[in-house]
Structure 1
Amino acid sequence: MEPTPFSRQHHARFLGAGETTIVLAHGFGTDQTAWRHQAPTLAEQHRVLLFDHMGAGRSDLTAYSPRRYQSLRSYAMDLLILLEELALEDVVYVGHSMSGMIGLLAAVEEPSRFRKLVLLGASPRYLDDEGYEGGFTRAKLDGLYRAMQTNFHAWASGFAPLVTGNPDQPDLARDFAATLGALRPDIALTVARITFESDHRGDLPKLTRPTLVLQSQADIAVPMSVGTYLADHIPRAELQVLDATGHLPHWSAPGQVTRAILSFAVSA
């Protein structure tokens, strides 16, 4: 399939071939290379679409505007434009972290574009609320923003090992710090605020597509209670707890994540 102007802006590319298209959408601080462990195996049986969100990876930074990207809904609209230009419908969408809600919002807006959704380490709200444990207090988020503004690269180096967990695999933190540190600091701060200040709990019941919630056993950014909340409030959702820790289980337990995606993609 020939690239379109919009797909070129997002460095979109296809791998493999097959009747089913699996869309892999990366989370905050990474880019499409985050799926390096999953994409080749998935592409053996399916067509795989990889892309970079605007502002990340090899996306066209000249097309980035903070006026346009003021909420996750802006990224959801990007996703829908991308699928439309590439004439894609009935896709299996896999969204990590912030891309979980991006995909959910897009599927609520245009359900025919989606067959199923896989939400990996996703959250409808990161900030604690009365009767809801999101993982972050207001003080923690404000401190995070201050640290990003004060010395972005020092913050990235310290934030990466906390988020990836798995101190016995230091390469995970190194790799995450590299993609996180490659972001333009002003864009990174804007996306962080958009993500961590979002609240899409009210959108969960609107999702009509079968959904697999993949949750790490221990995730500093998305606690187990959030995975349970997603499964309880999305009508056709099931929760699968991975034998993994950290916010990037597709890196720390890549085989488990790949098998879960494949199994769900082909299930009835």
Structure 2
Amino acid sequence: MNITTKNNVRILGNERADQTIVFGHGFGTDQTSFAEVVKGFENDYRIVLYDNVGGGKSDINAFSLARYSTLNGYVTDLLDILQEYQLENVNYVGHSVNGMVSLLSSIKSPKHFSKLILLGASPRYLNDLPEYTGGFDQPSLDALYQTMDTNYYAWVSGFSKLVMDNHDRPELAAQFAETLSAVRPDIALSVAKVIFQTDHRGDLSSVNIPTFILQTTHDVAVPESVGDYLNNAIVGSKLTKVKAKGHFPQISSPQEVIDAVRSFI
């Protein structure tokens, strides 16, 4: 299958630039979630955007429960994109689940990556108390899955407001709800289970790419303790906590993200 069509790959920005930035979106969003952030880099960098299979304008026929039963399916897709476009030493900005996807990809094929920027990323969403606080317990996740399964669009409305966490700007939650509603409910449920049940803490010590961790001051999906954990577990990493609230600072506070990322790359 043509990887450009499969993942709706788009090349923007300065095609003659020496450096490339690849943006990878999180669960329930698509590449448009980086629209405002891209504006801060398009004059000086080549920009690569893509949609995870199952979301955005990716080829829905490419989604397979078997292939995407773990994050490895998304890792393979990302490496296929980088190989297809002959991209090496890229700066990768990965939001949420795609933070972990880029991290795993860099371990598998380090030549493709120059720097990793993990935006609201988590190696494990489940608590493993007392050693680790991921933010969720299993009964809460089971209830979430049940609601997704029985009343998906009502769940979308509540979940989008909760994780966006900018209640004085309801248009932001509405933006997330729009892309989340566009995901086929059975695919959304399958992907959510993969994300929330995964545990990649054991992979963090294998990262050898300079890594920048961006954490918001209040993220119900990824508490501040997770950012601290990543910083301690990834050798040589840098952690910055921005003032933005919620799980989507690239949407709610794009200039903060632009400034932080630019300072690192």
Q: TM-score, normalised by structure 2?
A: 0.97
State the partner residue of 1:219.
Answer: 219
Distance 1:219 1:161 in 2: 12
After TM superposition, give the deviation of residue 40 of structure 1 in Å: 2.0
Identity of aligned residues (%): 48
2:6 to 9, 13, 19: 9
Distance 1:236 1:22 in 2: 21
State the partner residue of 2:117.
Answer: 118
Structure 1 segment 80-229 matched on structure 2, within 5 A? 80-130=79-129, 131-229=131-229
Distance 1:198 1:67 in 2: 15
After TM superposition, give the deviation of residue 197 of structure 1 in Å: 0.3
Q: Which string of whole-angstrom CA distances, capped at 9 and with x for unpartnered residues, describes residues 92-140 of structure 1?
A: 0000000010000000000010000000000000000021100001111
After TM superposition, give the deviation of residue 171 of structure 1 in Å: 0.8
Q: Which string of whole-angstrom CA distances, capped at 9 and with x for unpartnered residues, describes residues 132-154 of structure 1?
A: 10000111100100000001111
Q: TM-score, normalised by structure 1?
A: 0.96
Residue 33 of structure 1 aligns with an amino acid whose one-letter code is: T
After TM superposition, give the deviation of residue 236 of structure 1 in Å: 2.1
State the partner residue of 2:34.
Answer: 35
Q: Determine helix, strand or coil for the equivalent of 1:143.
A: helix
Task: Say how many residue pairs are matched.
Answer: 262
After TM superposition, give the deviation of residue 6 of structure 1 in Å: 0.8
Q: Determine helix, strand or coil for the equivalent of 2:123.
A: coil
Following TM superposition, where does structure 1 have runs of at least 4 consecutive aligned residues deviating by more than 2 angstroms?
none
After TM superposition, give the deviation of residue 251 of structure 1 in Å: 1.2
Distance 2:11 2:258 in 1: 17
Distance 2:75 2:28 in 1: 17
Q: Determine helix, strand or coil for the equivalent of 1:38.
A: helix
State the partner residue of 2:243.
Answer: 243
Distance 2:112 2:236 in 1: 17
State the partner residue of 1:76.
Answer: 75
Q: Determine helix, strand or coil for the equivalent of 2:40.
A: helix
After TM superposition, give the deviation of residue 222 of structure 1 in Å: 0.2
Residue 187 of structure 2 aligns with an amino acid whose one-letter code is: I
Q: Determine helix, strand or coil for the equivalent of 2:203.
A: helix
Q: Which string of whole-angstrom CA distances, capped at 9 and with x for unpartnered residues, describes residues 10-48 of structure 1?
A: 110111121100000000010000001111221111000
Q: Determine helix, strand or coil for the equivalent of 2:125.
A: coil
Residue 88 of structure 1 aligns with an amino acid whose one-letter code is: L
After TM superposition, give the deviation of residue 74 of structure 1 in Å: 1.2
State the partner residue of 2:21.
Answer: 22
Q: Determine helix, strand or coil for the equivalent of 2:199.
A: coil
Q: Determine helix, strand or coil for the equivalent of 1:75.
A: helix
Distance 1:31 1:135 in 2: 24
Residue 151 of structure 1 aligns with an amino acid whose one-letter code is: N
Distance 1:201 1:67 in 2: 23
After TM superposition, give the deviation of residue 203 of structure 1 in Å: 0.3
Distance 2:165 2:63 in 1: 31
